[in-house]
Structure 1
Amino acid sequence: MRKSRRVALTLAVLTLLGALSVPLLLKSEDAPTPHQTPAPRKSTGLILPAPAPRAEGSLRIQGVVHGDQGPLAGVRITATRSEAHQTLSELTCEEVLPHRRGDRREFTLCFYTEPATTLELLLSRQGEAPLYAETVTDEDGRFTLEQLPEGAFTLWAIDPRGARLQPGVLAGTEGLQLRLEGGVFLEGTVIDEALAALPQVQVMAVHQGFTRFFDVETDADGRFRIGPLPAGDYALAFTRDGWIPDLKGSWFAESVKLLRPRRLVGRVTKQGAPVPQATVQLRDITLNERGIMPPGSAKQQTTDAQGRFTFEPLASHHIQLDATQGEHHGRALVDMKTHDTQKEVVVELGPGAMLEGTVTDEAGAAIEGVRLLIQERRAQRQSVETTTDAMGHYRLGPLSLAPHELELTSPRHFPTGESFAELSPGTKRLDFTLRTPLWVDGVLVDEAGSPVPDVYVTVDNPPSEDTDDTLLLAPYEARSDEQGRFHLNFPTPGSFLLKLLDEPRFRMEELQVQAPDTKVRWVLKRGATVSGTVFDELETPMPGLLVRLSTEPPEEGSTSSPWPEVLSETRTDTRGHYAFGGMKPGRYVLEAVHESGAVERFVTRHLELGARQEAHVDLRLEAGWTLSGTVVDTQGQPLSGADVLIQSPPDSTPKWRVGHRHHAADPVTRTRSDGHFTLRNLPSQDVELSVTKQSFRLAPHLSTGGRPGLDSLHAHEGGPPVRLVMSRRARIHGRVVGPDGKPLTRFQLMREDVEHPQGEFSLDVGSAGSWPVILKAEGLAPVFRQVEVPHDTAVVDLGELRMSTGRKVAGRVLDAETSAPVEGALLVPDVEHFDSVTLHPYTYWTQAYTAKDGSFSIARVDERSSALNVRARGYLSRKLNLAPGSQEDLTVRLEKGARVEFSVLDARGQPTSATVFLDREGRESSPYTIEVPAEGLFVMRDLAPGAYWMHAAAGEGRLESYDSRRVQIPASGGVSIMLKARSEGATLELRVRSPPRFTLVLVSGEDSWSREGYDFSRLRERSLPHEVSKEGTMTFRNLPSGKLTLILISNDWRGSYREVIDIPEAGTVVRDVTPVWQAIRR
């Protein structure tokens, strides 16, 4: 992700308003305004027609708004209603975008794929849900919305103390009870191309679910803050006169940069003469921070009589221009950042490539409707597509002469394609014959014989042969049309099992079919149903809640699967209603979950359904208790934007919920500007709190209001407010300048893009130790620094880091004995511990591999790099000193090391496989890991001479253990090393008493694992094997005498435990372990 000195656009889940740099336009202290019907908006004629005048009525909605301490006065209540074919949330993509015919998704799902259209609508304020009434609650929290027509409305309750959205409220409703929730804040900074703050930018937040607009303006520092708003997905539009508007989602986590508009003027020519009426397509081919081309970036113009065209406004991006006329094509690439806008871009037309032909089946009959898609074979793929006409004819072009890939697809035929290394000018005739697979055609009907549309049918046992034909027809699934018809293709005859895919209306039954068969009739059975409404503690329907239906968990001792099956999931509609259908008779678990920040409330019902039972089950959430607190640093200063999380107690999750997450990330409550947070409706009396914030870690021993845990604080209902104290992590500061000494405002630090007007960066590190700092900037040599951090809260200032254009290092790598070229050798300038197996992941910026002839070339090497590290399989690593300046004719000769043969025997003396680890004595380097096969020797020629400690681990599922040995590797000659599994030794019986689930490692010696977690996977590979009894006792056999280290890691990676165990030469050691957990720093 990009970062700009940690200024981010964040979606903050807060409970109170705090100080706004720019206030939300709706204020609770505003006087109530009578409802008035504004004049209808005049249509621009560009996209949406003008809405019809709003209807008025005589109905009203009455209710009460509640807070933590009871009814709330002064809360602004607004009623809006989405209008069909008018409000953005009620439109489909195809209704707004003619070129997306058949796309019936909600238009809000096309916001970011069609940003130009979205911005045109938002900035002209089209498509907003009309406001019907507005008022403010009285001193008793009561409100009345009047003069409403019949129908359902969406109510918005917005106040500095929180926000609430309640859709689906019918006009005429009395006694509605609304509890204000924490709400969300949208905040961030807008900057210009020079990274300077941009004031007076109009920021519009649009609720995507119910299309309401909220407006603010950035302050003198370019900051904006909107909220509190009801939770939901928001689109943000940014605009200011003289700048190109931008569109972002509320999840966007970096400063918003507005660009000055630029103009591109060009001319299309053919043999130097202007070409009128040529089509010019402009595509923005700039890759974004995720390495993909931005969507919706194509524009099109037609040249005038002089062959001229103009595109504006354009951002300072990389642009591709493609011009076509007749059978001619031309292309030009333009970097708008450096392009002189006063100069014309000339696109010269030349003969393009045309493809033309006919598509037929194996009998020679023309196939209509075959889709042909041709794409250029390059990173920024450009595609052209067409379909065959009634005669099976197609024509594609004009195309560039670059390499292309052509794909042909037809619903009832095998797909095919063609690859073109290059295309030639002119028309190429290319006919295709599509093969016909075996068909299964069927119809889905209900028990009354009516067709059932929109059902997905999947093949449970698709063809298993790994052939081209099998793969061409995958995936084996279909969707029924309006007449209930479905179609499946198969490569070979056979019996196949059809199943319904995620279908809540009918029983999940199966149907055996024989391919081919074109007369399948599948009668779907409704089965039992369960439906109802989810209410909160005030008896108010809860929209948008996840409801899950699972099978009842099996009883203890059952031979069936220990985990229940989640049959279906849905979300409640605007009126809190849910429904499931198609269930077989049986016992089920019905559960709904309500998320509010970090707090999750569940309501669960166990039920038994008969064959055709229609059950009605309402679910009611129970009220919980409220916990407030603050997050501060060690100096007592409040920390805003810290994420407070609730840790679930060990083994507290019911079986029917295990393994089924309903969110991609842990739910959090984010602190406001004064560090305050509130957690409402906590379901259990005890709660374990943790908190995360970039550059900080929680200090439980300094926190108050509860009992400190490993990396958390335990609070109890009725206790005092909590105070969570966070200490600063260690960090490395620096300032990057170019060869001229001026700050570099854009560069990469490790894998992150950094932008800062003074070239400053700050890198958080986990703890004390040695840390790499690697910098990269366009056109300059990467810089690598290894930095020592003395303690866990240290701030290391590197001062000024000057980047240079670097120097070229090139040459050849040869075998020292034969002078033969060494292919695939790896060369890296100045990397510590190069003889280790693994390199730092960012060294690819400076590394190179030798070609077949042993040659290599590294274009930009830092002037300070004084050595070149070389490594190749089968050779000893070498470090070559580099003289100052360019080195373009180096010869590196690599020598082979000693021939080292490894073999492994089991306890009976038979060859077996094992993993062997070699640790260099006295060197902090990664170990060599060797997989010794059972059928023979493993030979190495690239072990550096010296002393090593050798360990071995048996293969998966085997219980052999091996002695650790010290071996000496010579510089040359041969060494044979044989390891044999132990057949005798002591036995260790280990029982661990601990509520959290954990992972166990037992290794030879006194391993000094640092509890940082980075090396735990290495230790697991070396762990001694064991068997586990039904009672949970772990037994290790044939152990060597001496010291063993036991390491436990909790499965949530929060705690670790380490203990050294003395093992005698023989006998049985019984050890009961009750771990005292220590926090893992992550």
Structure 2
Amino acid sequence: MRKGMWFRWLAGAVVVLGLLFMALFPRTDEAPGEPAPRAPSSRAGTLNTWTAAKHAVPAPTGSLRITGEVRDARGPVPGVRVTASRVDAETLSERPCPEALREAPSSDARRLTACAGAELEQEVARLVEAREGEAPVFAETVSAQDGTFALEGLPAGAFALWALGEHGAVLRLDVPAGGEAVELELEEGIQISGTVTEALGRAPIPGARVTVVHEAHTRFFDVLADEQGRFRMGPLPPGRYLEVASAQGWRAGLLRDEVWLDADVEVAFKLHPMRQFEGVVLTPQGLPAPGLTVNLRALFGGADILTARTDEQGHFTFEEVPAVEHHLWVWNAERTAIGEAAVQEKSPKQTLIRMEPCSFLEGTVRDDQGRPLEGVRLEVNRQHLGNAPIPEALTDEAGHYRLGPLLASAMKLSLTRAHFMNKVESIPHRDGVARTWDFTLARAVSVEGSVVDTEGRPLAGVEVRLSPVGVTSRLFRDRASRLDESTVSDEAGRFLLDTEQEGPGRLSASATDFISTEVDVKVPSTEVRVVLQQGASVSGTVVDAKGQPMTDVTLKLWDTTPASGEARSGTVDGQGGFSLRGLKAGHYMLEAWRRTPGMAQSTSRPVELEEHTQAVVALRFEEGRALEGMTVDTFGQPVPGVQVRACLPLDDVPPWQLSVETCDPRSGGGVRSGPDGRFVLKHLVAPTYQLVAWKEDQAFAPARSQGGTADASSLHVVPGGPEIRLVLERRSRLRARVVSTDGSPLPSSLWVHNDGRKQSSDGVFDVVLRDDSKSVVVSAEGFFDLPRSVMVKPGEDVDLGDLVMTRSRKARFIVRDEANPGSMAGVPVSVGMSYEGNPIPFKNPVPPPFFGNLDAEGAVDLDGLPFAPIVITVQLERDQRSQDVALDAYQKVVTVTVPARPR
């Protein structure tokens, strides 16, 4: 084929393929009559939400439409992606939180994403990683050249509209299908950036996926970390977000940030690697235990329970376990024996678990007249078996109880019953399957009554507390008694409080939306009636400078009476509305508060309340002024990426504000200066502000800055005043080389106070110092820790030179039990330095203690021992029996026999 014919054939083929592609994949995101703008390229580490939100175009599910215009401060904005979504029962924002993990009985606490603590972090991370729970998108388009948009094919109902552009974003809630002339005004939006690193070594994890999830409306946005483990995403609408980082071979991590607080949120993911873990389960007699289910659960940040089955040799294996602290347990089939172990980050891959017999406790509870007591609750303190609930029991009509299964170790038992004194009993170590223990409860004196409102309606959930008058503090009373001197009223408004002493008392009652009250009572008393008044109330709306409702604010109602205490807090609804009830008459200051980029913004109004009045107040945020400046180095050259924050000087804080935020950009973030070092702070309404600046390897120098008056840590400026130049100095660096006595480099870690731990495979360190003085500790496996104190002068580096580590020794302790001459393999022990058997002060390094199970030989290795005589304590964890053993300066193996318990 000649050259010209080849090119003509190739051109024709391209045209045909292009037409075929367009026929198969038509472009439906173009505005009528206008070409759709090209999406910006997405690369690892950086992602604009314009492309982050792009996915398969949804199929029409209705016949309605929403039309409107996208604008910013300069006018219509073309090329902005607009989507319509809404939450349903399957989205993360609507999935319920387990009852036991709710923080409070509020609507937010019912959400899976708002559960208390870290128990469900891994469940949420797993759902996000699997792309489950995302709010469905019903329609999607791109704004035309004149900023107009049309979302087609919508069913009936209200939608959340997302407008995501190159330079701004906005989320508009509750827009009904069929709506016209809807105005979406872009805000500056927020940026989320950060790092994904190893939890221990802090090495970057390139290619890790970071998914940012709007918590209330559950939209997912993704970005990949670059080669340095860094990522950046935005702009996004303000709101509360979850961030999930995941990577193959690593345990997913989850963070939660209220990113309306700041325009440039920095997050740091520290992921734990996955590893294989295995072990062997032994019966109480030390034989292999086949056919049992072994359970494994992370102690922090995870609720999932992994299971494995033991084989004929009692061996089990977990293929992929994150390298974090775990709890491991196994029951026998009859649940008459249990084995438990703790799995640490650096535990060996295999551990032995020796099962322990469980027993029952039974007996009778009587009053001080010898009569059986029904309904006494018995509960074991601090004895959790696997994931079973805390053992408890109720006495029957004969006063009899049966409690278990329980470990045979010593324990404390709580006994409670209405009209009787609560009791805590210490139960010593027991042998055998069951033991009988009888108890006697002394009768208490009680205060009974009900809580009602002014109309006589019973009030449930009211906290009622009894404080005896003229009685010695409870700290000096019988510590064996637990007193029910506070309770919550039931559905009928009833309450019962038991105490130990007759006489005058004071009853206090408090509840949301009611005025707290105190009543003098006589102990004992019955049919006490406590009346709560609703009092005055304040309601209204919070709007911005343009009159639009604001939802990302916190309300604070300050009582201006001196020493009146903290403010009453509240929130606003989706329309900016609020209501605070149960207020006493008086003079108040109502404040609406929010964080904006680089500062806290607020507006306030005085409120005068009379008894039973209902005040209606409108709070409006001012547009305020802008303040521009520049961050530079000591040579006047721009310094990009500096966080700058503004706050009120302490002298300008209103006297009714009892709590003031720390002016520290590291704690509250700040606006970040651009590549040219320039920054802009908006919405300033006060006459003066103080500015602070921060960057990882730079130190803010107020005295060398321009445009204001410097103090020790900030620059006081007046908006509209002279040009502001914030000067940053190079921070000091700490250098060191860790070696052994022969001069060879050592893999080691360097812990710096307030700066964390750094790892080095060759023992060479070069780290930034943030403060003037530092405590430093160098660690290397097989060597003693080496502490150092360093003094830092601004601009001067510290070179510690060669740090020579001193080798420590390891000793093996073979443990025997005088009461049971058989094998001790798998028995839990603690081994550490004896504080009674060694001289005080102890001049040698203290070895770190060991907590865990004995190995197959019934022994344990203890590291970090000095080459000097030392006394070590070995303790059996199940019954707390112990024995001291003395080692000479070079002893490597020692046998320790723990004596039997005296009879």
Structure-2-length-normalised TM-score: 0.73
The whole-number CA distance in structure 2 between the counterparts of 1:413 and 1:637 is 76
1:190-339 counterparts in 2 under 5 A? Answer: 190-191=197-198, 196-250=203-257, 254-264=268-278, 266-269=280-283, 271=285, 274-276=288-290, 278-282=292-296, 284=298, 296=303, 299-300=306-307, 303=310, 309-317=316-324, 321-325=328-332, 326=334, 327-331=336-340, 337=346, 339=348
The whole-number CA distance in structure 1 between the counterparts of 2:160 and 2:367 is 55
Are 1:86 and 2:95 an aligned pair? no
Distance change in 2, residues 1:709/1:468 (3 Å):
closer
Report the counterpart of residue 26 of structure 1 in structure 2. Answer: 49
Report the counterpart of residue 816 of structure 1 in structure 2. Answer: none
Report the counterpart of residue 536 of structure 1 in structure 2. Answer: 544
Report the counterpart of residue 569 of structure 2 in structure 1. Answer: 569
Distance change in 2, residues 1:78/1:729 (3 Å):
same
Are 1:762 and 2:767 an aligned pair? yes
Distance change in 2, residues 1:508/1:523 (3 Å):
same
What do residues 161-196 of structure 1 show as CA deviations (whole Å, max 9, x unaligned)?
344445455664865564514414132123387654
1:379-394 counterparts in 2 under 5 A? Answer: 384-388=390-394, 390=396, 394=401
The whole-number CA distance in structure 2 between the counterparts of 1:217 and 1:415 is 58
1:328-477 counterparts in 2 under 5 A? Answer: 328-331=337-340, 337=346, 339-340=348-349, 346-359=352-365, 362=368, 364-368=371-375, 370=377, 372-375=379-382, 384-388=390-394, 390=396, 394-409=401-416, 413-420=420-427, 422-459=429-466, 464-466=471-473, 467-468=476-477, 472-473=481-482, 476-477=485-486
3-state DSSP class of the match of 2:699? Answer: strand
The whole-number CA distance in structure 2 between the counterparts of 1:758 and 1:409 is 61
What do residues 465-524 of structure 1 show as CA deviations (whole Å, max 9, x unaligned)?
234359955674333333333333333234433344362x22344434333334233343
What do residues 617-649 of structure 1 show as CA deviations (whole Å, max 9, x unaligned)?
221111111223443433566556643222423
The whole-number CA distance in structure 2 between the counterparts of 1:785 and 1:586 is 58
1:613-692 counterparts in 2 under 5 A? Answer: 613-634=613-634, 639=639, 642-659=642-659, 667-671=668-672, 674=675, 675-692=677-694
3-state DSSP class of the match of 2:207? Answer: coil
Report the counterpart of residue 713 of structure 1 in structure 2. Answer: 715
Count of paired positions: 771
The whole-number CA distance in structure 2 between the counterparts of 1:451 and 1:63 is 53
Match of 2:113 among 100, 108, 114: 108
Report the counterpart of residue 123 of structure 1 in structure 2. Answer: 129
Identity value in percent: 31
Q: Is the 8 A contact 1:358 1:430 kept in 2?
A: yes
Q: Is the 8 A contact 2:194 2:266 kept in 1?
A: no
Report the counterpart of residue 723 of structure 1 in structure 2. Answer: 725
Distance change in 2, residues 1:623/1:512 (3 Å):
same
Q: Is the 8 A contact 2:641 2:695 kept in 1?
A: yes
Provide structure 1 residue ranges, at least 5 long, that are not aligned to the other structure.
Answer: 1-16, 38-54, 286-292, 554-560, 809-847, 863-884, 891-1082
Q: Is the 8 A contact 1:158 1:164 kept in 2?
A: yes
What do residues 64-96 of structure 1 show as CA deviations (whole Å, max 9, x unaligned)?
5434x566544444443333x433333332279
Distance change in 2, residues 1:400/1:470 (3 Å):
closer
1:883-898 counterparts in 2 under 5 A? Answer: 886=867, 888=869
After alignment, is 465-474 or 176-185 more displaced? 465-474
Deviation at 1:591, TM superposition (A): 1.9
Distance change in 2, residues 1:519/1:723 (3 Å):
same
Match of 1:545 among 540, 553, 559: 553
Q: Is the 8 A contact 1:627 1:721 kept in 2?
A: no
The whole-number CA distance in structure 2 between the counterparts of 1:611 and 1:116 is 50
3-state DSSP class of the match of 1:657? Answer: coil
Match of 2:515 among 486, 507, 516: 507
Report the counterpart of residue 194 of structure 2 in structure 1. Answer: 187
Match of 2:487 among 465, 478, 484: 478
After alignment, is 628-637 or 655-664 more displaced? 655-664
The whole-number CA distance in structure 2 between the counterparts of 1:758 and 1:34 is 52
Deviation at 1:795, TM superposition (A): 0.9
Report the counterpart of residue 950 of structure 1 in structure 2. Answer: none
3-state DSSP class of the match of 2:274? Answer: coil
What do residues 413-460 of structure 1 show as CA deviations (whole Å, max 9, x unaligned)?
543333356443532223334444333333333344433333333446
Distance change in 2, residues 1:481/1:176 (3 Å):
farther
Q: Is the 8 A contact 2:463 2:486 kept in 1?
A: yes
Distance change in 2, residues 1:595/1:501 (3 Å):
farther
The whole-number CA distance in structure 2 between the counterparts of 1:608 and 1:319 is 56
1:587-606 counterparts in 2 under 5 A? Answer: 587-606=587-606
Which amino acid is 2:247 matched to? R
Match of 2:783 among 757, 780, 792: 780
Distance change in 2, residues 1:705/1:70 (3 Å):
farther
Q: Is the 8 A contact 2:751 2:776 kept in 1?
A: no
Q: Is the 8 A contact 1:268 1:323 kept in 2?
A: no
3-state DSSP class of the match of 1:618? Answer: strand
Q: Is the 8 A contact 2:649 2:688 kept in 1?
A: no
What do residues 959-999 of structure 1 show as CA deviations (whole Å, max 9, x unaligned)?
xxxxxxxxxxxxxxxxxxxxxxxxxxxxxxxxxxxxxxxxx
Deviation at 1:538, TM superposition (A): 1.7
The whole-number CA distance in structure 1 between the counterparts of 2:390 and 2:354 is 21
Deviation at 1:784, TM superposition (A): 3.6
What do residues 557-584 of structure 1 show as CA deviations (whole Å, max 9, x unaligned)?
xxxx645555622011222111012334
Are 1:487 and 2:506 an aligned pair? no
The whole-number CA distance in structure 2 between the counterparts of 1:334 and 1:24 is 39
Which amino acid is 2:95 matched to? L
Report the counterpart of residue 804 of structure 1 in structure 2. Answer: 806
Report the counterpart of residue 4 of structure 2 in structure 1. Answer: none
Distance change in 2, residues 1:213/1:512 (3 Å):
farther
Distance change in 2, residues 1:430/1:185 (3 Å):
same
- After superposition, the CA RMSD in angstroms is 4.6
Which amino acid is 2:94 matched to? E
Report the counterpart of residue 581 of structure 1 in structure 2. Answer: 581
Deviation at 1:204, TM superposition (A): 1.9
After alignment, is 425-434 or 466-475 more displaced? 466-475
Q: Is the 8 A contact 2:77 2:143 kept in 1?
A: yes
What do residues 133-179 of structure 1 show as CA deviations (whole Å, max 9, x unaligned)?
44445556555556555655444444443444454556648655645
Which amino acid is 1:534 matched to? V
Distance change in 2, residues 1:306/1:690 (3 Å):
closer
Distance change in 2, residues 1:766/1:496 (3 Å):
same
What do residues 824-849 of structure 1 show as CA deviations (whole Å, max 9, x unaligned)?
xxxxxxxxxxxxxxxxxxxxxxxx99
1:959-978 counterparts in 2 under 5 A? Answer: none
Distance change in 2, residues 1:318/1:588 (3 Å):
closer
Are 1:496 and 2:500 an aligned pair? no
1:1054-1073 counterparts in 2 under 5 A? Answer: none
Q: Is the 8 A contact 2:122 2:301 kept in 1?
A: no
Distance change in 2, residues 1:619/1:282 (3 Å):
same
Q: Is the 8 A contact 2:196 2:208 kept in 1?
A: no
Are 1:525 and 2:533 an aligned pair? yes
Q: Is the 8 A contact 2:424 2:482 kept in 1?
A: no
Q: Is the 8 A contact 1:57 1:148 kept in 2?
A: yes
Which amino acid is 1:220 matched to? E
The whole-number CA distance in structure 2 between the counterparts of 1:348 and 1:753 is 36
3-state DSSP class of the match of 1:112? Answer: coil
Structure-1-length-normalised TM-score: 0.62
Q: Is the 8 A contact 2:49 2:235 kept in 1?
A: no
